[in-house]
Structure 1
Amino acid sequence: MNEISTSRKTAIIEHLAASLRILAVTMIICSGAYTLMLYLAGRMFFPAEASGSLVTANGTIAGSRLVAQKFSQPGYFWPRPSAVDYNAAAAGGSNLSPASAALRKRAMETLSTFGATSNKPVPADLIAASGSGLDPHITLEAARFQAPRVARARNLPVEKIKAVIEAQSSPNTIFSGSSRLVNVLGLNIALDQSCR
Structure 2
Amino acid sequence: MKEHVLAAVTMLAVLTILTGLIYPLAVTGLAQLLFPEQANGSLIVRDGRVVGSRLIGQFFDKPEYFWGRPSATAPFPYNAAASGGSNLGPTNPALIDAVKARVAALRAADPGNESPIPVDLVTASGSGLDPHISPAAALYQVKRVSRARGLDEGTVSALLNRQTEKRQFGLLGERRVNVLELNLALDALPR
TM-score with structure 1 setting the length: 0.85
Structure 2's unaligned 5+ residue stretches are none
In structure 2, the residue matched to 1:155 is 150
Match of 1:181? 176
| Alignment match of 2:134 (pick from 121, 130, 139) | 139
Instruction: Indicate how the Cα distance of structure 1 residues 103 and 181 shifts in structure 2: closer, same or farther if over 3 A, else same.
Output: same
Contact 2:115 2:140 in 1 (8 A): no
RMSD across aligned positions (CA): 2.1
Moved more, 89-98 or 14-23: 14-23
Identity of aligned residues (%): 43
Matches within 5 A, 1:109-148: 109-115=101-107, 119-148=114-143
After superposing on structure 2, the runs of 4+ consecutive aligned residues of structure 1 that deviate more than 6 Å are none
Larger radius of gyration: 1
Tell me what 2:93 maps to: 101
Q: Could you say which residue in structure 1 is the equivalent of 2:48?
A: 59
CA distance in 2, matches of 1:86, 1:71: 11
Shifted more, 94-103 versus 154-163: the winner is 94-103
Equivalent residue for 1:78?
67
CA distance in 1, matches of 2:11, 2:189: 60
Asked whether 1:167 is paired with 2:159, we answer no
* Change over 3 Å in CA distance of 1:111–1:137 after alignment to 2: same
Aligned to 2:28: 39
Distance in 2 of aligned mates of 1:118 and 1:63: 30
Deviations 1:138-196 (A, max 9, x none): 001111111111000100001111111111111235xx9x8410011111111111236
In the alignment, which residue of structure 1 is the partner of 2:9?
20
Cα deviation, 1:36-65, whole Å, max 9, x if unaligned, reads: 011111111111111111111222111111
Which stretch of the first structure deviates more once superposed, 109-118 or 23-32? Answer: 109-118
SS in 2 for 1:22: helix
Aligned length: 182
1:195 is matched with which residue?
Answer: 190
Separation in structure 2 between the aligned mates of residue 180 and residue 15 of structure 1, nearest angstrom:
58
The whole-number CA distance in structure 1 between the counterparts of 2:2 and 2:50 is 57
Instruction: Tell me, yes or no, if the aligned pair for 1:57 and 1:189 is still in contact at 8 Å.
Output: no
Residues 189 and 21 of structure 1, relative CA distance in 2, 3 Å threshold: same
How far the C-alpha of 1:106 sits from its partner, in A, is 1.6
Give the corresponding residue for 1:8. Answer: none
